[in-house]
Amino acid sequence: MSIRRPSWLLAPFYAAAVVTASKSFGDNPIIGSPALNRAGLHVGRMRLAHAMAGWRRRRLAHLVSKEDAADFNHDGFVLKRNYLPASVFEALKTEVLSLAAPARDMIQGDTVTRRIALDARTLARLPAVRALVESREWLGLVRYVGSSALAPLTYIQTIFSHVRETAADPQTRLHSDTFHPTVKAWFFLNDVGEDDGPFTYVPGSHRLTAERLDWEKRMSILASQSQDQYTRRGSFRILETELAELGLPRPKVFAVPANTLVVADTMGFHARSLSVRPSVRIEIWAYGRRNPFLLWTGFDPVAMPFVKGRAVPLYWSVVDLGERFGLMKNPWRPAGTVRPDTPVDLSLFNRN
């Protein structure tokens, strides 16, 4: 391993990042070192992170039913159809589709993702949505799967597929988000057909088997030089034809009716299926990721008084500021005050 000047000045920070959620093989010469990963750095981080997640989940098991815990432990996800009573669901859907609020749009390939932050100000306008995302069962599932008593970041999310003629959305390739257990949740507000780009997940791929660890080690040795930017960033891609070598089944396709909840550990392999036609998918979407090496389950910074209910707007403001000073580019472009299904304005992505 070599760290070029002036990078050697940052060596202590690169080393400290090894015991955090940092995952980029391209940006951190220690995490991305082929020599250290041949010696077992990456798989060692995985083993420790998964052991810690298991320790924390055992302390959070009271948050979920035994059936949900068993389903998750077996498959890596929990699937609940007809999650809300019909009348409650219809009220929630009406709230969401009637909402006009500040939104951000991001384009990847031929797909645009829109997010409206469900911060405290927005939730005050959406009582049915607030009751859902603050409910004991919703939070219990997200926290158990995420192995932390975290405060998830929650949005109204819309997926607009085939908005332009170009390469496919990179999220349609099977991948793992990161090296450690983490959580995402989808509560679908419209029916999702098999041809509408449904979520897919490889059952059991959240477990650390010998085959998975061997594959991860091979990938980690090559990742820093990968031609795929997402692999360099630590989100490894895998071909469906490789799954059998890891003892894994084919992906499960979540072609599901509206009012279905899916909560998954996205360290497991997952993707958004290809949509055969332009489509619009609207969902309540939640995300949680913390330092995987924590000994405790609580004390989430997102739940601190100044941050609670404001985390997403604060994050967007910080990244906007970084872009203004030339430190980074924010892929999430302000879309103005729009509804979840307002058509996409592609000119957003041509502005500096």
Q: pLDDT class for 182, splitting at 50, 70, 90?
A: very high
Write out pLDDT tens, residues 199-241.
999 999 999 999 999 999 999 999 999 999 999 999 999 999 9
Comparing C-alpha atoms, which of 151, 76, 95 is closest to residue 284?
95
**What is the pTM (predicted TM-score) of this model?**
0.94
Write out pLDDT tens, residues 278-316.
999 999 999 999 999 999 999 899 888 888 899 999 999
The region, left, alpha or beta by phi > 0 then psi within -120 to 50, assigned to residue 92 is: alpha
List the Cα angle 160/282/98 in 5-degree steps.
Answer: 110
| pLDDT the model gives residue 2 | 46
DSSP state of 10: G
Q: State yes or no: pLDDT of 351 exceeds 80.
A: no
Write out pLDDT tens, residues 40-86.
999 999 999 999 999 999 999 999 999 999 999 999 999 999 999 99
153 alpha-carbon distance from chain centroid:
10
Is residue 311 within 8 Å of residue 153, measured between CB atoms? yes
